[in-house]
Chains A and B, each alone.
Chain A
């Protein structure tokens, strides 16, 4: 079985400060991991993905995530938050060698204060 846990339902930061959105997964197989962003009243957009290549993955808009197998984590970071980063973020895990059905975390709402 696979599952994904986003450890914070809300994260609040000031503009210009670092962002950390946490994601832990459980999987018996090698996972593919994704982060998606959803702006208000919009569909989801891919930020970045890990598929067993480099463990540090760079995405769009300055976001990156590091796959840590020993910690079963795939945390999303950005050095400096921008007001336009305010959105809902979803971590997604897909088993390789399993059912290939995506499992979504419950989401983290990023709030950016001026």
Chain B
């Protein structure tokens, strides 16, 4: 398995609180992605990064921000969590855009 870890793996939080999810890779891949997975929707791209400090929005970026200060770490922040952000969040990496992606184990987030 590609060296990708996500933390925390499970989190319960309350509406209005900030939440940060971390993705860490040991593969030195340039691209990193954050997805959310919801029943009936497959995976939807939130944000992605193509290098340190280089990020761009995906399909469902509203309410989320990201940061990448090191090649190996990609952080996803929910500034003020809402119940609609209850989901399973996956991080992925790839060497180049358009190539095979390798996925982390996921983070289950419940916003009450």
Contacts and interface: CB of A to CB of B under 8 A. Distances in A.
A31 B105 CA distance: 27
Contact of B48 (A42, A46, A94, A101): A101
A42 B105 contact: yes
B42 A106 contact: yes
Contacts, number: 46
A106 B40 contact: yes
Interface residues of B, number: 22
Interface residues on A, range: 20 to 34
Contacts of B92: 44
Interface of B: 4, 33, 35, 40-45, 48, 58, 90, 92, 97-98, 100-106
Interface of A: 9, 32, 34, 36, 41-46, 49, 90, 94-96, 100-102, 104-107
12 contacts: A36-B103, A41-B106, A43-B4, A43-B106, A44-B90, A44-B92, A100-B97, A102-B45, A102-B101, A104-B35, A106-B40, A106-B42
